[in-house]
A = this chain, B = another copy of it.
Amino acid sequence: MYMKKKAILNNNIVCQKRMQAIRDTMEILSGKWKFHILGTLMQSHSLRFMDLLREVDGIGAKMLSKELQDMEINRLVTRRVLDTKPVTVEYEITEHGRTLAPIIDEIAKWGIEYREVLYKKKPRT
């Protein structure tokens, strides 16, 4: 008679909470462009739609629009319509959005170190 083995590490409440947290964050940051849009917005006070389209290399209007809507819902960015001659729209990162900076910084840092390791072709790992 065999007892079916069960998960033992990840069945405690702390692990579950952590796993859920990772899932939450990654869902909010899902997609190919959010990091780049956020990174660009973090560098400037505010940007208009067409500015972002130019700044974020390779993105198309549809994806930019969709990602901005996503992030507005999640309060990472704000959208403000200005009453100018041809109507312009300003996007700005929120304080809440700025709290993602440590994540983005860690990811960028890791990527830079990774490239350096590749060049140096580590001796004997």
Contacts and interface: CB of A to CB of B under 8 A. Distances in A.
Nearest to A15: B43
A80 to B, nearest CB: 14
A75 to B, nearest CB: 7
Contacts of A35: 22, 26
B103 A107 contact: yes
A75 B124 CA distance: 12
Contacts of A113: 99
Given A6-B54, A44-B9, A23 B125 contact: no
A91 to B, nearest CB: 13
Contacts of A102: 106, 110
A7 B108 contact: no
B7 A19 contact: no
Given A35-B26, A39-B18, A9 B112 contact: no
A15 B55 CA distance: 11
Interface of A: 5-10, 15, 17-26, 28, 35-36, 39-40, 43-44, 50, 54-57, 75, 94, 96, 99-100, 102-104, 106-115, 117, 125
